[in-house]
Amino acid sequence: MKDIAKDLGVSLMTVSKALRNHSDISDETRERVLKRATELNYQPNWIAQSLVTRKTFLIGLVIPDLMHSFFAEVAKGIGRKLGGMGYQIVISNTEEDEAREERHLNLLIARKVDGLIVASAQRSGRADVFQSLEAAKVPYVLIDRMLAGVEANFVGVKDAEVGDLATTHLIEQGCRRIAHIRGPAVATGSGRLRGYRQALARHGLKAPTEYVVCGESGDHTGYEAMRELLLVEPRPDGVFCYNDPVAAGAIKAVLEAGLSVPDDIAIIGAGNVHYSDLLRVPLSTIDQSTTRIGEAAAELLSECMTSKSALPARRIFFTPTVVPRDSTRRLAR
Amino acid sequence: MKDIAKDLGVSLMTVSKALRNHSDISDETRERVLKRATELNYQPNWIAQSLVTRKTFLIGLVIPDLMHSFFAEVAKGIGRKLGGMGYQIVISNTEEDEAREERHLNLLIARKVDGLIVASAQRSGRADVFQSLEAAKVPYVLIDRMLAGVEANFVGVKDAEVGDLATTHLIEQGCRRIAHIRGPAVATGSGRLRGYRQALARHGLKAPTEYVVCGESGDHTGYEAMRELLLVEPRPDGVFCYNDPVAAGAIKAVLEAGLSVPDDIAIIGAGNVHYSDLLRVPLSTIDQSTTRIGEAAAELLSECMTSKSALPARRIFFTPTVVPRDSTRRLAR
DNA sequence: CTGAAAGCGCTAACAG
DNA sequence: CTGTTAGCGCTTTCAG
């Protein structure tokens, strides 16, 4: 900028204004400045700019697992929406680790991101991290995983509803001994479990405690958990899995044991990841409007960032729906 | 910082030095500063810091598709390695669009990232974008997709080798009419095609031009391409697909047509994405050491960023290997 | 060991 | 319409 100003015999300010086409600059001057700028291949320094404007055009995206299609899809939706508005995304993969998440969140604050979108790995209760967010006045929106006791913007589905829907679907397909491979102790994990129990209760079904086993989040854990479940007597005839990757692993275990999906054991997941339809047995699942979650979160955040006064927290819930495929298609009833 | 200095009756400089535990500060002063800093919950402002030190601890990661497991896995490897060194990753999803990539690259430069890792969507030849990188002196390393005519750091595999390996595997399994669903016109796409042709030639096999059809990169395109291929006479008995998602889509199309994989048509992909084993038919594929690509790229970049003098460009090639699974397991022969 | 001066590259606010 | 002044929050350099 200094060079341009010198070359053109104008002041630094004139250049600055011309470059951002500020109103009060003559067309002629603006032209000259712009011309010289491209000649010199001038690149504005965002750092300096950020320092004075207090705006970085950086959004922090904190998620537990990039490899999980669900989050990758959400990330894509966010990137598209926010990218169009000139923001860039700094991503942080917490690998489902609370301490790591806290560290990264603080780094992002120190970096002065304009906003934050978080699918938190915090186990229920531990919400102190978000205190610092409030203190730092960084607008943020939670996605997918609600945090008990945090009054914050949220976009996602009601977890119990997902569990209820999935379990009810299995019951309608004629399953009577329904097991659940549960997820981590975050809101989604415990909410889906609650929904599962609720659906069973409503239909007067009981499940022994061994019918709820612990997966975590990946296909590998689904496989292991299912093998465990296969040893339980009486053997379940339906399994609701925490998410689609877990369900995919579970299907593998069932088939390996020489049993059929869905005839011996019906399986349903949650999340409707894009490759569910291509699995060993096309997977029935619960759709959560993944892409729209990302987009809605982006929009909500953008409103928070634009508005001068702090807006009241809003919660946007999408309605989950059953996507029936072969893995629960039972002829019998 | 100003507050701390005032409270303690020392100068701003003393605080600054104490905070970064610079050598020449008495232990006592340091203690006092640190104590007061935590009391006030002081958070350093990285922007101001970056402006003067010319270091942002930000790495740009430019990839064509976050949803593709391959890139998600690479991203994870990079994040883990570089995250441990204090860097954060700003990600940019180009969606295989050259113009978009160019725009994002320039944004990242303006943002003064310390380094760049790029799986470029540039079609062969168009390498002018990377001129600006050189001009801006941002260290960068290319991954997965080499760029003709760009003398740059690279980490990945030799594309022709992948194509050759896959095709040869099909031949060894007894296939004689081998088709190829090719990828986009980037290095990986054309390299794999070259390898396919090379393997056919070596074994004295011919393939009519209709045996090479165009997919792009996703499972949907694989499905469409395969349907097209099923109409060709004589029908192929083996198909090498650009990547695993494409192969997954292709399998779906074959099964839908009432044919068997691998008996009627054997199928092999490339990339060894983590769910390959869970597909309709467990997918044979070519492993490219995905995670190690990410890690190696991160290490290479970190060396470039650390070294004061510009290092000569290095190229790291991993050796691709066949991962045989059911989709090519033919009893015959 | 501590501090004063100067400045990173840019912009807000106001004066000419 | 153009320019001056005064910083943003921090670090580097060099003198006490």
Residue of B nearest to A111 (CA): B46
Instruction: Of A290, A214, A207, A215, give the one whose Cα is nearest residue A248.
Output: A215
Q: Which residue is nearest to nucleotide D11 (CA to C1')?
A: B52
Residue of A nearest to B50 (CA): A47
Residue of B nearest to A248 (CA): B278
- For residue A91, which residues of chain B lie inside 8 Å, CB to CB? 75, 79, 89-91
Residue-wise pLDDT tens digits, A266-286: 999 999 999 999 998 999 999
Residue-wise pLDDT tens digits, A150-192: 889 999 999 999 999 999 999 999 999 999 999 998 889 999 9
- For residue B109, which residues of chain A lie inside 8 Å, CB to CB? 43
Q: Which residue is nearest to nucleotide C3 (CA to C1')?
A: B11
CA distance B247 to A315: 40
Side-chain half-sphere of A75: how many Cα atoms within 13 Å? 32
Residue-wise pLDDT tens digits, A25-84: 788 888 888 888 888 888 888 999 998 999 999 999 999 999 999 999 999 999 999 999
Strand D: list positions under 7 Å from protein Cβ: 1-5, 7-13
- Interface contact B111-A47, CB threshold 8 A: yes
Q: Is the pLDDT of residue A333 over 50?
A: no
Question: Do residues A157 and A320 lie in contact, with contact meaning Cβ atoms separated by under 8 Å?
Answer: yes
> For residue B331, what pLDDT is reported?
60
> For residue B125, what pLDDT is reported?
60
CA distance A94 to A129: 14
How far apart are the CA of A70 and the nearest CA of chain B, in angstroms?
9
Strand D atom within 7 Å of B20 CB: yes
pTM equals 0.92
Residue-wise pLDDT tens digits, B280-321: 899 999 999 999 999 999 999 999 998 878 789 999 999 999
Q: Is the pLDDT of residue A127 over 70?
A: no
The CA–CA distances, whole Å, from B38 to A59, A135, A262, B42 equal: 26, 14, 58, 6
The parts of chain B modelled with pLDDT lower than 70 are 23, 124-127, 331-333
- For residue A135, which residues of chain B lie inside 8 Å, CB to CB? 41
- For residue B219, which residues of chain A lie inside 8 Å, CB to CB? 274-275, 278
> For residue B28, what pLDDT is reported?
81
How far apart are the CA of A82 and the nearest CA of chain B, in angstroms?
11
- Interface contact A76-B90, CB threshold 8 A: no
Strand D atom within 7 Å of B13 CB: yes
Beta bridge mates, B154: B142, B315
> For residue B75, what pLDDT is reported?
95
CA distance B52 to B49: 6
> For residue B333, what pLDDT is reported?
46
Which residues does B259 contact at the CB level (< 8 Å), separation at least 6?
Answer: B230, B265
- Quickly list DSSP for B230-282: TTSSSPPSEEEESSHHHHHHHHHHHHHTT--TTTT-EEE-SS--TTGGGBSSP
